[in-house]
Structure 1
Amino acid sequence: MYRNNDFIYEAVSKLETLINIPIEIDSNRPNYDALLRIKNEQFIVEAKKTVRTSNQGLILSKLEEAKYNSNRPIILIAEYISKKATEELKERGINYMDTAGNAFIKCRELIIFIEGQKKAKKEKINQSRAFQEAGLKIVFQLLYKPENLQYSYRRIAEKADVSIGSVSNVMAELEDLNYLLKTGDKRVLKNKNELLERWIVDYNQVLRPRIMRKKMRFLDKDYQQQWRNINTHINDGYILWGR
């Protein structure tokens, strides 16, 4: 079920790129925002949209309580964490990361410290990544089965056979292009007919030429005329084809 914490995947994807270490994330846990694994260390994720001076005290108090009540390390993941809050988190020994790539993670032999990263401004480009190869695969999954909209980025990535980073980028662009709306408890596609029409055009121009294997023709004209009656079942499965 969708929870409005897509920034968790954005932060993880950014950190993976910076440290070149795979990070596993499981957001399908009812008792936690997510579980995170880096190398052999597993963390309980506390997800907060932003940590600013106005809410810093309350969030730090909740993190201390979670840290006290858990036998596993806690990590705060946020879209934005103020400079003052990061200093306080480090002093208290609380792990954190944000979507810009800043991170403080210290657990036994695992130590990661990155600061000074700025969130890149979105560049306006003529051809959106949402309508390039990976994006077209993702959009297909969203149009084909609307329930896929509520899945985690990881599950959408698995269904579309693309990276989590691609899902994060494409979902953000769909939102910017007014095709996607995120509410507190779900995602909703907007302007679906327009999105479908654009997908059809770009699928034929971009994706279809890359997935087509080859064109073939019948050598026997009798077979060509009786093509509907040809047995397409084979020992290991069946053949799908048409004209």
Structure 2
Amino acid sequence: MSSLFSASVLLEQVRLGLQQALATRISAGPAAGAAQQTWQLGASACFSVVALPLVAETTWTGALDRLTHSGPPLLVVAERISHQARTHLRARGICYADAAGNAWLRHAAGLLVALRGHQQAISSPATAPTPTAPSTVPPTQLNVAGMRLVFHLLRTPALVACPVREIAKTTRFSPSVVVRTLAYLAGHALWSADPAGWAALRPAVVEHWVGHYAATLRNRLNPQRYRWLTAAPPTWPYPLPAGCVWSGEAAAQRLLGISAEPPSMLTIYSTLPRAQLAHYLQLVPCQRGPVELLNPYFAPLALDPEQCAPPLVVYADLLASPVPRTAALAQQLREAGHW
């Protein structure tokens, strides 16, 4: 896992991995800082958890000496804990868990768990049924939820500095989606929890997101093509009802202030029922029609007079369009700094 991960991301990834492996809920409580939490396993096993990347290094001994306390049993969490460090931690009675799947938990309440990276766990009867080791390998590709989450992060850069739970709450995704998506970004050198670092990475993240947009996200938005009911299309520009926004070529013309001929392909995102919108615009289904309707994945829909989708969406739709001239519009939109 990349060193760009914040402590809160590391803690959440390891917590979710242990929860999956032990088939039991592990709740995280507040503590004194992003690198410290209290984890509750079952009704009586409580641990004082601290994220300590130094455990994987030769300087682990001094770092652990500074963590001696009299509260609940100490549970050290790290990206990866070496075999030597694990041996010394067990000898000192200090519990540990890492993102590679290694874990050793011991509690006076009758809990004993031993996990060795991606192998079967050995546990006492006080734990859940024999578990399997957690899968902490980052996803190989962004799924629909991951694409939508990255879109949120690009639109609201301040989120990158928030803890996992805050990102999940704000974006309405589960913490596991957040952890896996950030793991994917980190694995592709596209993640920083520092706003300045994220700003520097943003152009690369945008291009990566756009490159996966058409195949991963766009085709899940129920895209449907239509033609005009009458032989002659209405006079351009066409009025849109509330709950609809332009994207693609039509939106680019508006955002760039270009007065041009009517777009050869119209892209519209709408929350209205398809039949209602088709009736309003006088459209009929046609596989090669010049009008495309899609469900939005961004909210709220634009309320400005131009009725345009977010510029990043417009940019992605331009690059996904089969119309050759849209590539030049996408470049203009990018150079104008709209996204």
For normalisation by structure 2, the TM-score amounts to 0.53
User: What do residues 210-229 of structure 1 show as CA deviations (whole Å, max 9, x unaligned)?
Assistant: 9979523279x8xx49xxxx
Aligned position for 1:96: 96
Aligned position for 1:111: 111
5+ residue gaps, structure 2: 119-133, 224-269, 282-300, 308-339
How far 1:200 sits from its partner (Å)?
5.0
Q: Give 1:1-243 correspondences, 5 Å limit.
A: 4-5=6-7, 6-26=9-29, 29-30=32-33, 33-40=36-43, 41-52=45-56, 54-63=58-67, 65=68, 67=69, 70-118=70-118, 125=140, 128=141, 130=142, 132-182=143-193, 188-189=198-199, 190=201, 191=203, 192-195=205-208, 197-198=210-211, 200-201=213-214, 202-206=216-220, 208-209=221-222, 214-217=273-276, 224=280
How far 1:99 sits from its partner (Å)?
1.0
How far 1:141 sits from its partner (Å)?
2.0
- The one-letter code sitting in structure 2 at the alignment partner of 1:58 is G
Distance across 2 between alignment mates of 1:209 and 1:158: 27
- The one-letter code sitting in structure 1 at the alignment partner of 2:169 is E
Aligned position for 1:235: none
5+ residue gaps, structure 1: 226-239
Q: How many residues align?
A: 216
User: What do residues 118-175 of structure 1 show as CA deviations (whole Å, max 9, x unaligned)?
Assistant: 59795885xx1x2x22202311221221111111122222333333232222112222
- Change beyond 3 A, Cα 1:38–1:120: closer
Distance across 2 between alignment mates of 1:75 and 1:122: 22
How far 1:31 sits from its partner (Å)?
8.3
The alignment yields a C-alpha RMSD, in angstroms, of 3.8
In the alignment, is the contact (CA less than 8 A) between 2:89 and 2:95 conserved in 1?
yes
How far 1:91 sits from its partner (Å)?
2.3
In the alignment, is the contact (CA less than 8 A) between 2:10 and 2:79 conserved in 1?
yes
Aligned position for 1:236: none
In the alignment, is the contact (CA less than 8 A) between 1:43 and 1:73 conserved in 2?
yes
Distance across 1 between alignment mates of 2:136 and 2:105: 26
User: What do residues 188-231 of structure 1 show as CA deviations (whole Å, max 9, x unaligned)?
Assistant: 1512542553465343223x239979523279x8xx49xxxxxx
The share of aligned pairs that are identical, in percent, is: 19
- Change beyond 3 A, Cα 1:140–1:110: farther
In the alignment, is the contact (CA less than 8 A) between 1:50 and 1:79 conserved in 2?
no
Distance across 2 between alignment mates of 1:241 and 1:187: 29
How far 1:36 sits from its partner (Å)?
1.9
Secondary structure in 2 aligned to 1:81? coil
Distance across 2 between alignment mates of 1:31 and 1:52: 19
Structure scoring higher RCO (CA < 8 A, sep ≥ 6) equals: 1
In the alignment, is the contact (CA less than 8 A) between 2:40 and 2:47 conserved in 1?
yes
- The one-letter code sitting in structure 1 at the alignment partner of 2:107 is C
Distance across 2 between alignment mates of 1:44 and 1:121: 22
Secondary structure in 1 aligned to 2:169? helix
Bigger Rg, which one = 2
For normalisation by structure 1, the TM-score amounts to 0.70
User: What do residues 48-104 of structure 1 show as CA deviations (whole Å, max 9, x unaligned)?
Assistant: 1142462132133123x2x2xx33332111111122222222222212111122222
